Structure 1
């Protein structure tokens, strides 16, 4: 309604202006080729405006006709570009869906319609790589390296191709080039860092970690842990060849991670070998209170070289309460008591943990106690049978592998900081039954200590 009213008012205003213009007084004389016209002034102005509008309209039509070929060409180019972009998008979808053959066809179509678009060629190279056409993929990637915009993406593709072809040296070369081109490239830095750690080039590896940016709290914590692990690896290598350097590296790791057990064990061993038993015991007491790790208790008991089993048991009693607060403490105390032939204390230490949920370590120690205290091979055999079926104790585990000691790298994947102190994966029921049946046929090991006539000194 408002629009209709506005249109009516506008029409009336225009009509009023036209009537006012025509009614203007005065005349205008025009002489053209012996023709004279004397229209009124308003009529002349109105005719002039109409002629101007006609000229503008005619020129617009002529201009449109003249520019029609260019417009058609531009429209065709736009349509071609739209088709190329659509083909490029469909190729990405096809490659993500696992249809590499269709993705390559669409990428080639996109490249034909978008000759200056590097993404189409990069996508074709990815499709070639997925199809296993390594020579074609390599040619595409090498062509893309020449451009600064696509060099990093091309190096990424060449790195993936080299890894697919099991060419680690070539993959590392591409990673180093990518890292030199873009120092912030995460995959390249990780590849170069992984190679340094696998080769044991710890100084260069820790130098890379030191310059890594760490913005968040979690990133800073992860960075400190990687630094501590590398410093511990350096201490582990230098423990025997250069003890002072190994001690410095171990203490540096403990500054980064105050409760890192592997670094503490290395530092304590070096202190003990250098005769600094008090420093070693002080460090081990602190780590034991923080972690309760059994390796710490074992090293604490043997901190004094040449000490007797009774002395080791007394020393261990300095850090382990009776009754022990947890299973690791109970097992450590029981081990020391068994070595000292203190059977009642050993049994008392394991009493809270020898129930139905007893672990393999507890069951094995109980077998030693039964055999050593009473010479009861029947009960010892029962405990050994329980040990086969019992849950496992925590151990240093990485990628399904169990190690007696902590190691900086996984022996399976070469990954840094892969070892964790945790319960290994539970074996299958069929394996457990088979081992249990085999154990039932075995005699009690002759290595179990027999009860002596009197306690040793």
Structure 2
């Protein structure tokens, strides 16, 4: 409605302007080839405006006719470009869907329309790689390296190809070249993994420090990796250079305040140096955050040469009564058993003695039954339950278990692979004794589980 009103007003204004122009007083004399014309001034002005408009229209038509070949050529290029873009889009979709043959065909169609398009060549290289045509893929990637815009993508493809072929040195070379161009995440990760796998901790730390971190998640991930590397350096230096190891462990704790492996190393060194109070303070703080049993065990032994009774007193200072979780209960019961405080040990485990009791808890209960009352029958019953009981948390990585944390996986060499959790289908890195000694008169053999997670328990009674 508003548009209609505006159009009516505009039409009236134009009509009024034309009427005013035609009605202007006066005449204009024109003599052309012996002819004389004397139109009124308004008519002459209107005719002049019309002639100018006609001239503009004619020139526009002539220019369009002259530019027609270039226009049609441009339209053809646009159509080819549009077809190439559609082919590229469909090609990447086909490659993601697993149809590498169709992806390669579409990539070639796109390249025929846009020979200079790097994305089409990249798609063809990826399709060749998916089809196993390594030579063709490598040639495409090498051609793309010359262009700085596609160099990283080409190096990424060459890196994946080298990994697929098992050429790890070549893959590392491509990753290093990519890092020199720009800090691509995949390249930085590959270089860092190589440095940590070879134990070059200082070089790994320098490389990690140069890596940019923009988001909060990236910064947290970077701090964790730095803490892991500092802990690895502390672990390596602890036997020969304890002071340097302590510095690295404390540096790791500044980055990751509740990191258990770093806290254990720092507390051990402080305890050995006679700084038991400082070690115990550190362990108390980490225990409150993690409730890790190794922290409590080290807290109990923070003073070298302490008796079993003294260790039990320290554990009771650390752990609330009743114990807030199974791990705390097992630590307290272990200390009580060592001090022959059978009632304390039994009371600590009582809330967790149920159908889901773990192996360590069952073995402790067997020892309590044997030590407190000499009941061999109940001890054997608990040992039988230990055969079927769930396993206790331990350091686990890539199907392997370890008694102590390690910075990299022995299988893949990946940093931060070990986790404290219940192992599922894991194999021990080394044969270790059972966590709790069996009662006297009974022999217990708990070999490491096989690759399927099965565990055998042999019992014999004298």
The 2-side partners of 1:360 and 1:352 are apart by 16
Matched, 1:399 2:398: yes
The 1-side partners of 2:343 and 2:47 are apart by 128
Matched, 1:40 2:38: yes
Q: Which structure 2 residues correspond to residues 8-27 of structure 1 after superposition, within 5 A?
A: 10=14, 14=18, 17=21, 25=27, 27=29
Q: Residue 181 of structure 1: CA displacement?
A: 0.7
Assess, with a 3 A threshold, how the Cα gap between structure 1 residues 380 and 15 changes in structure 2: closer, same or farther. Answer: same
Q: What SS does structure 2 have at the residue aligned with 1:29?
A: strand
Assess, with a 3 A threshold, how the Cα gap between structure 1 residues 28 and 424 changes in structure 2: closer, same or farther. Answer: same
The 1-side partners of 2:367 and 2:213 are apart by 52
8 A contact 2:28–2:44 mirrored in 1 = no
Q: Residue 279 of structure 1: CA displacement?
A: 3.8
Deviation track 1:180-234 (CA, whole Å, cap 9, x = no partner) reads 1113x22221211121111111112222333444444444433332222211111
Q: Residue 240 of structure 1: CA displacement?
A: 0.5
Which residue number corresponds to residue 85 of structure 2?
Answer: 85
Assess, with a 3 A threshold, how the Cα gap between structure 1 residues 16 and 258 changes in structure 2: closer, same or farther. Answer: closer
The 2-side partners of 1:243 and 1:268 are apart by 11
8 A contact 1:28–1:40 mirrored in 2 = yes
User: What TM-score do you get using the length of structure 2 for normalisation?
Assistant: 0.81
Which residue number corresponds to residue 450 of structure 1?
Answer: none
Which residue number corresponds to residue 161 of structure 1?
Answer: 161
Q: Which structure 2 residues correspond to residues 28-427 of structure 1 after superposition, within 5 A?
A: 28-31=30-33, 36-42=34-40, 60-183=60-183, 185-320=184-319, 323-425=322-424
Q: Residue 58 of structure 1: CA displacement?
A: 5.4
- Matched residue count: 431
User: What TM-score do you get using the length of structure 1 for normalisation?
Assistant: 0.82
Q: Residue 162 of structure 1: CA displacement?
A: 1.6
Assess, with a 3 A threshold, how the Cα gap between structure 1 residues 349 and 63 changes in structure 2: closer, same or farther. Answer: closer
The 2-side partners of 1:270 and 1:44 are apart by 108
Which residue number corresponds to residue 454 of structure 1?
Answer: none
Assess, with a 3 A threshold, how the Cα gap between structure 1 residues 68 and 350 changes in structure 2: closer, same or farther. Answer: closer
8 A contact 1:388–1:435 mirrored in 2 = no
Q: Residue 128 of structure 1: CA displacement?
A: 1.5
The 2-side partners of 1:4 and 1:259 are apart by 79
Q: Residue 253 of structure 1: CA displacement?
A: 1.6
Q: Residue 79 of structure 1: CA displacement?
A: 2.2
Which residue number corresponds to residue 434 of structure 2?
Answer: none
Q: Residue 151 of structure 1: CA displacement?
A: 1.4
Assess, with a 3 A threshold, how the Cα gap between structure 1 residues 139 and 41 changes in structure 2: closer, same or farther. Answer: same
Which residue number corresponds to residue 459 of structure 2?
Answer: 442
Name stretches of at least 5 consecutive residues in structure 2 with no aligned partner. 427-449
Q: Residue 62 of structure 1: CA displacement?
A: 4.5
Q: Residue 340 of structure 1: CA displacement?
A: 3.5
Q: What SS does structure 1 have at the residue aligned with 2:420?
A: strand
